Structure 1
Amino acid sequence: MAALKDDLPTAMIAAAFAGISWYIGVELNVRLYMSRLRRSGLYFASVLLCSWGVLSQPVLILLVNFGIWKPSPGSITAIYLSWWILVVPQSFVLYSRLHLFIPDARLRWILYLIVFNAIVFSIPTVVVGVLAQSVLASKLTKPNLALDKAQLAVFFTQETFLSLLYIRETRVHLKRVAPLHDNESAHRRVMHHLILINIFIICLDISLIGVCYSSLFYVQGHYKPCVYAIKLRLEFTILNDLRTTLQASLESARA
């Protein structure tokens, strides 16, 4: 792990990604607590938990990679737990905003899918990862790498599906309410904004898959929190824009 000290370019890249993650993570926490979101809601809890993963994982990885916290079952477990609160809540962030458009009966099946993938892929990833990098390194290295790539592909597919579903349902809803008011240009702007942001998010996920499948060990550990931080910040922007547009639509319809 201490080899990162001797690789200045990689160390600088890691520090840059960690800095971006921390900046966005702190900003998100401030914005979240200043927002009017319900503190007991799923969206608030998911964003908050994911933002803590954005803040904690880069620090933990830096401490271990630079030898400040020696590799041990405790340090490896802490890293994997920070990975869990970084990755798993992201799908619940995407799921929770679907309540704006989709009935609970349909949403239930989506929730089942998210919970199933969280249990089947994230829990084994944590358990096998901790064992592979501590007490059973010689036996579990290859299974750990295979499982890591599998969970990455699964969560990418799941998040992409949720994003595309959100775009579709938003488009259907805005078309349905368009005849009720005359701010069609605002609806068109929101849709363009939504589509462009989600295309950018998918591109970020693809780049993350490329880095991870290229076995760039030190880079991927810091790039992933950075990607999730950017995604989370963009998701927050999307929801705020959409809420503003929907509120304006309701006020226009009442008038």
Structure 2
Amino acid sequence: MSELSNIREDLPTSMTMAAFAGISWYVGIEINISLFMLFKRWSGLYFWSCALGSWGVILQPLFIVLADFGIWSNLSASISMIYLTWLIMVVPQSWVLYSRLHLIMHGEKMLRWIMVVLIFNSIVFSVPTIVIGTLAQATTINPSLPHVNLIWDRVQLVVFFAQELSLSLLYIYQTRKYLRDSSVLFKFSVFASPASTDATSEEERVLCHLIYANILIIALDISLLVIALLGVQYANLFYIQGAFKPCVYGIKLKIEFVILNSLIKSLRAHGSGTYGQSWSQQRQWRRMGHTESSGNETGPQPSGGTGVHLDRMRRGSDQTRFDPDRWY
């Protein structure tokens, strides 16, 4: 990478950084206010992942500005804080998505494997990033450390990009599958009232928005990867990519916060019916859709019109009731 320019003498770059920092602060503060006002219980994986991520979005550009413009002259302290805020900004992002994945994906074994991968990546690719980056930029103990840091920075960048991309694609796949199976279930319903039809349409709308939101998140991830890699190569983009990253993470967090909250409200409204059941239960409902509708157990059910008696469906040991507050 070529020699860095004096940022205090580069007005266009300084103004661009200020714009990205302003967006990051606005989004981060708004998410914090929404979190602490909307949540009755300040606990759980989802809540603290959103809280930590939003704090990182607020603090990361602040420390970058203080360090880049020489306001905070203690290099070791400023670099350490930049990397610590990077940690609480980047790592919780994937945990936000994971903490709501069970709403549309009920394979417990797969969810556990995803959790193991997230824990592994969160430790293996974040701790060395902080240690190597701080030593390389704040000390001179090893002349080869800056080169090692550049290589490692690209590695962790690609790993976290692939991780968040995989989660977004998984959301898209599982949501499409959920919509397809739900559509089949509703087609087999015997007592589908106009009210249940409207509720189903609302849920489908939210789920479609979830797909669109994850497509937008993937586009933001790609833009982040591109500008971060260019920032490593070109000095005039180095400062901009540092301010651009918190802005993108803030926008992603806001999108996830809004759409996942809409999703849980929609599914909670259907918690006693078809949409609140596990995949194995939904498959069983499809199998029984025609045969059970003519039995003695048909009649208006509290499930919203599936034609299948809920007590029968609840007797199986593998039938898990939907709990939207599971990760609170």
Alpha-carbon distance, 1:81 to partner:
0.3
Distance 2:125 2:219 in 1: 23
Alpha-carbon distance, 1:252 to partner:
7.1
Confirm or deny that 1:182 pairs with 2:197.
yes
1:28 is matched by which residue type in structure 2? I
Task: Quote the residue 2:267 is aligned against.
Answer: 246
Question: Structure 1 stretch 48-57 or stretch 32-41: which is displaced more?
Answer: 32-41
Distance 1:37 1:13 in 2: 38
Of 140, 145, 160, which residue of structure 1 is paired with 2:145? 140
Alpha-carbon distance, 1:177 to partner:
3.8
Of 169, 172, 183, which residue of structure 2 is paired with 1:164? 169
2:73 is matched by which residue type in structure 1? K
Alpha-carbon distance, 1:33 to partner:
0.7
Alpha-carbon distance, 1:15 to partner:
0.4
- What's the CA shift string for 1:181-239, capped at 9, x where partnerless? 42343233223312221111111111111111112210111100000000000001111
Alpha-carbon distance, 1:37 to partner:
5.8
Distance 1:37 1:176 in 2: 33
Question: Structure 1 stretch 78-87 or stretch 168-177: which is displaced more?
Answer: 168-177
Task: Quote the residue 1:210 is aligned against.
Answer: 226
Task: Quote the residue 2:13 is aligned against.
Answer: 10
Gaps of 5+ in 2: 190-195, 232-236, 275-301, 305-328
Alpha-carbon distance, 1:71 to partner:
4.8
SS of the counterpart of 2:197?
coil
2:204 is matched by which residue type in structure 1? R
- What's the CA shift string for 1:118-169, capped at 9, x where partnerless? 1221111110000110113632111111111111111011011111112222
Question: Structure 1 stretch 33-42 or stretch 173-182: which is displaced more?
Answer: 173-182
Query: In 1, are the aligned partners of 2:56 and 2:88 still within 8 Å (CA)?
Result: yes
Distance 1:203 1:167 in 2: 14
Alpha-carbon distance, 1:3 to partner:
1.4
Confirm or deny that 1:78 pairs with 2:81.
yes
Alignment of 1:3-82 (within 5 A): 3-36=6-39, 38-82=41-85
SS of the counterpart of 2:39?
coil
Equivalent pairs: percent with the same residue? 52
Distance 2:170 2:40 in 1: 23
For the aligned residue pairs, the C-alpha RMSD in angstroms reads 1.9
Distance 1:21 1:60 in 2: 13
Q: TM-score, normalised by structure 1?
A: 0.93
Distance 2:143 2:238 in 1: 18
Of 122, 125, 134, which residue of structure 1 is paired with 2:126? 122
Distance 1:93 1:111 in 2: 12
Higher helix share: 1
Gaps of 5+ in 1: none
SS of the counterpart of 1:102?
coil
Task: Quote the residue 2:157 is aligned against.
Answer: 152
Q: Does the C-alpha gap of structure 1 residues 116 and 250 become closer, same or farther in structure 2, counting only changes over 3 Å?
A: closer
Task: Quote the residue 1:95 is aligned against.
Answer: 98
1:128 is matched by which residue type in structure 2? I
Query: In 1, are the aligned partners of 2:203 and 2:267 still within 8 Å (CA)?
Result: no
2:129 is matched by which residue type in structure 1? T
Distance 1:124 1:166 in 2: 29
Q: TM-score, normalised by structure 2?
A: 0.73
Q: Does the C-alpha gap of structure 1 residues 209 and 173 become closer, same or farther in structure 2, counting only changes over 3 Å?
A: same
